Structure 1
């Protein structure tokens, strides 16, 4: 999809206007404390731009899923308001409601360069103890209500760009003017550079547990890439398709035929592990290294040392690397070697003038945790959205924004 025709933040006149901004403040919380504020940090450039241009800023975000009244007690955006205030060094008016007189009065009294953060949009998914999903199902009444609070809408939440919710598609469909925020604009530009107009050789690294999670990505990328490197649990469905023994490794038996079709269609582009780091159970123990055939009673939990060398050799000549999914159970200390090695090899490509992109999710978390945050050209903030972009699907939250 080409989103270059969409209005962006700098196409808007925002001075003295009430600007509704969908941000992604879906941060991890432990006992009410934010454990990772990367998503808040990612929204700062758009918020600062609006403040510098005298806008009245009204922020909307979800936080986790809300399935009960009990969920609301632990999933308020109040801690986010506090952290945002610390980062911006700017007062945040937190409204602990998603609609009603308190919110409306705060909006009507808002002055230029002031910021309101509205309570978790997904609180609208539960009413009087019942699951109603007004936000998640893009309820027209809620969409129109939120849109009525502002003059213009900016979508800067890439993490929900693939979802049609009231706070993104709903607002943009019911307001006079809409545009992409700076973060979403960068996401589209970088994903396009990595996937649609890559320098060659172009290598995709796909990991994770299941072939079924990556069907669309493999299908879409096969015609674009020079090589697809496979790791993670889905390795063993491909190995089964080749007639190899996989012991008690993860297997999607209903996807074996599809894996065979992919291997035939790929014509050598799909590269599979030649050895695995195994254990007799799903546990963080000292690994046993075995070749392509895994004996009964053993399961593959990471790529092995020969595969690491094979993959490093393929990556060292690449000009574009797109990575989505770990190579093994990277949360286990004994089974993270493959993910670390792929991360290091990919990161080196940027230093050599290549373009390196991580498509969010577990691989993004791994790269950041391992200290490689600044060694990639781009680390996407949206796992599901970047995955759907890699599948060639339309991102409805972006499609709903007005054209220039």
Structure 2
């Protein structure tokens, strides 16, 4: 990937328009998770330290081109100030007179947050006039929102065509980690793909089979592959209508020399609830459901990890939200974390459920890189072009 970084830009006395993702969760009127705010601090701090003016462009929620007071970014401002440790000015619009006046009032080292870009219909339509109105506010554009890079919006793609542009620190780290995982990885490469349904990850499976040496399939989607092989899955979540598709995926893997790894022993229960009575079987009884991979399956997965140099992880191996059906995910994640600490494995993971599962397992902190993106991470794994990244490369 060929893109400029912040190091290649002179930001002294310049107004830097920084696209960030601060679409953060709220509880009882306050930010409940600061992960996304903390992730953008290095970029803001570097620009401010160099004597630049940091102007933040962001969306919040899904207002669909209308002003929705409950989705104002003003409510995120206190958390931003607290984490930055300095005042953050706020403009009641992201374009027009309010934005221009707020930018004009800035001094080097100041930080300004503009109102929700999605209050304007031109944002999601990538309207050239919207992009031009944003670009008119600054001297350079810095994209630090990989999580929004799969959207061709005015503040992610259109503006990058109009100003000298670069990747922020978070975007830079993300792109380098992803390139190390799939673009130019150390081999052998193993991918773990879990989740509920095969239908949501067909593009992902098709792309990974062509690029990895081994592919571990877990979670509910593994049941579809087991059923396609003629194995009983009882009352398990299973897309029986995709049996032919599953067989096509398995045939493609064989043809390309990609080792496809499915559970060989299963943890089953009659109820989907925490601490439900469970047993380990090789064939699922008709009145039971598969809720996790068994210990033999985990041992097989761990063996693959030990002989691999790169790991890409998207999706849990079982119903990780409830005990005891989190054991396979926790055990495999712990081993991946240990191998990463030992320096023998480069481990990259992403996706909402994945991050939650790895955090729950206590393994996330030891992975080489945990992507903050959801849809963008998945589309990258699917081999799709991300407009926000392509604009930076251009």
Q: TM-score range by the shorter chain?
A: over 0.9
224 and 37 in structure 1: CA distance in 2 versus 1, 3 angstrom threshold: same
Aligned to 2:73: 77
Is 1:38 matched up with 2:35? yes
Deviation at 1:84, TM superposition (A): 1.6
3-state DSSP class of the match of 1:400?
helix
How far apart in 1 are the matches of 2:364 and 2:157? Answer: 31
Structure 1: which 5+ residue stretches go unaligned?
125-132
Is 1:283 matched up with 2:279? no
Contact 1:245 1:292 in 2 (8 A): no
Picking from 119, 127, 143, the partner of 1:123 is: 119
Deviation at 1:74, TM superposition (A): 3.3
- With structure 2 as the length reference, what TM-score do the two structures score? 0.93
3-state DSSP class of the match of 2:123?
coil
Aligned to 2:90: 94
Is 1:170 matched up with 2:153? no
Deviation at 1:67, TM superposition (A): 5.0
Q: Residue deviations 1:176-210, cap 9 Å, x none? A: 31111111111111111111222233211111111
Aligned to 2:210: 223
How far apart in 2 are the matches of 1:246 and 1:369? Answer: 27
176 and 315 in structure 1: CA distance in 2 versus 1, 3 angstrom threshold: closer
Q: Residue deviations 1:284-318, cap 9 Å, x none? A: 34242343432223222222222222222222232
Contact 2:57 2:94 in 1 (8 A): no
Aligned to 1:332: 322
3-state DSSP class of the match of 1:94?
strand
Counterpart mapping for 1:107-256 below 5 A: 107-124=103-120, 133-173=121-161, 175-256=162-243
How far apart in 2 are the matches of 1:321 and 1:200? Answer: 10
Deviation at 1:98, TM superposition (A): 3.2
100 and 357 in structure 1: CA distance in 2 versus 1, 3 angstrom threshold: same
Picking from 383, 389, 394, the partner of 1:392 is: 383
How far apart in 2 are the matches of 1:292 and 1:62? Answer: 48
Deviation at 1:374, TM superposition (A): 2.5
How far apart in 1 are the matches of 2:218 and 2:178? Answer: 22
How far apart in 1 are the matches of 2:277 and 2:61? Answer: 35
User: Which deviates more, 96-105 or 216-225?
Assistant: 96-105
Aligned to 2:18: 21
Counterpart mapping for 1:251-266 below 5 A: 251-266=238-253
Contact 1:361 1:384 in 2 (8 A): no
How far apart in 1 are the matches of 2:28 and 2:367? Answer: 32
Picking from 337, 342, 365, the partner of 1:374 is: 365
Q: Residue deviations 1:73-130, cap 9 Å, x none? A: 4333234221121111111002233334222210122111111111222233xxxxxx
Contact 2:130 2:154 in 1 (8 A): yes
Structure 2: which 5+ residue stretches go unaligned?
none
48 and 323 in structure 1: CA distance in 2 versus 1, 3 angstrom threshold: same
